[in-house]
Structure 1
Amino acid sequence: MLILEHRFAHIPQEGRRGRAWLASLPPLYEGRLTDGATVSLNASLRYYHLGDIVVAVEDGPAQVIERTPHIVSTQALDHLVLRTHASGRAQVTTNARTAEAAPGDLLLIDLARPISIAMPPVVGVAVVVPRRLLANGRGASGLPSRHVLAADRDPLIRLLAGHLIHLADVLAAATEAQVAELVPATVALCRAIDTSGGPAASGSAESARDAASPTVLAVRRYIEEHLDRVDIPALMKHFGLSRRSLYRLFEGTGGVQACIRDCRLAFAMRALRQSPTARRPKLARLAHDCGIGDPRVFSRAFRRRYGMSPTEVEPGSTPALPHRPDTGLLGWLRTL
């Protein structure tokens, strides 16, 4: 377990404390304090890297945090955040639509899409989970498309929100053996919140572990190295697997076809953000290189995943943020 922590009690000046808090929000967010807000001496922001997930624990001021289109396009993260808080009401804005989250509700934040959250002084807990660990048998994340999950509508939401609050208390003194059990349990609870409203997917904790198995990781590496021509028969032949065995490896994490699609779109995002403006790849060429022959199909899939068209991705290999791109928290997230 790795820990990254920001504390502010050593900064006596109120103005400097506020600036230090805002400097701690990147790379995930840009932020500003709301009018008249101050950062208390007890404010803190702590991240726990637990292997497959990252947990954030925050005791913060009244503020507005944002994932801007620039941050989204330059980082190309494909993770979801589930966040809850103990007091106050937060305003969540996406695509000019605003929803309100009460204490105990869950905020569902897609790091591949822009979002703005205005919140009062809160003690909040969040878990960052790779989308592949939350995928259901239909080949996509089963989590609802709305960004506020109301606790008064679903006991599962109350269960997960309570779990996150108590998880924050436990992690400060948890052993490595305890963390090894807590991580798949936490992922399983996240997966239990399904659009169908039905019971939790069976084998969730087992699926969370399977997603990091050596065979699955080897298949993913092969897919990434052969994007332009990889398909199911090629994977079966290379790894000596039957179709049923191959599908079973990925059945708890969205399916092998979804894995191929996601790897192709991630490749396209990296190519776009790392290309100078004057040398941006042609859409048809990029679609061909990542194995999606029809540019229109490629554009639709890209927009569904990242919330923007390929032509809207800003060039530049790193975000204009005060952290190096692959160190600290961002480095952790890239390894999930």
Structure 2
Amino acid sequence: MSTFKVEDWSQGPQLSELDPLPSPSDLEVQLDLVATALHPVVRSRASGQHYSARQLPHTVGVDGVGRTKDGDLVYFTTFSQSGGSFATQLTVPKANITPIPTALLHESREHAIDLVAENDLSDTNAAVKVAAGVNPAMASYMAIRTRTTALPKGFTALILGATSAAGRAAIHIARHLGAGKVFGLARNQGALDTLGLDRSIVLKDPAAETEFGDLRRVDLVLDFLYGEPVRAVFAALPPFRPIQYVQIGSLAGQSIDLPSALLRGKDVTLRGAGPGAWRFDQLQAELPGLLEAMVGLKGPETRTVRFEMVEEEWGKKEGRERLVFVGNGGK
């Protein structure tokens, strides 16, 4: 079997040829890889820059779609200190797999993707959508499901970084989980206008010049930005209204200068969402619902290449498309 490993944090992943996997235990399942995606967190972990991966050697990847020996498509997670999903065959705990919903398979048959002819398009299309889409959708799904409490019925959500892949997914996820209105903040007015938001807020530079309008009905802030924009958002939030703020990403900065007076003058509860804020057993319990929530979600644009091209593709400049590596399990 083949896998891609990192032996030195300063180097990219390299192909390793290993002996065939031993037979799985009763608590494990062996999978043939169908698809696995190059998420930003995958790059971060593979360079030793993410708090969730500090151990070498490191097998690249955090999740993907595999095929069981019975032919079933399943989503799997390998989010551990050592990784990873970039392997032609994997042995994973049965607790770490989730069947692909029938509705998602049916939906995928309505679309076509550019893949090699021998792959079954209906299965592979579903696998690519799931491999590319679960990670960005997971961010907001886990934030709302595990890091908020007693949101009001028909709550209003404000998404910071709404045009990012995770931000776009958060619009759909928030509505799926009960949001009555969704506001979005980002720099690109044109991109915001395509997202079907109830209100678009254009982030200015400096952020303090942003025209936020009336935020008195906001109940939840999902933050994929952090940095300078968050200080401006806090200044614009109303006093006396209970608001839950969940920090998820750091597209605009790793730190923030937040005056204490802003916190004292707001009824805001601050939480983070990510491994460590939620537990992996919570993630596994939520995955069936997350996959069901992905029905109807457009998901990020994708570019698909063969699994063996990982080293060649790794050093290329990233575009807006989510790169998905396709294995032989799609046959």
- Is the TM-score greater than 0.5? no
- Which of 1 and 2 has higher RCO (CA within 8 Å, sep 6+)? 2
Which is richer in helix? 1
TM-score by length of 1: 0.32
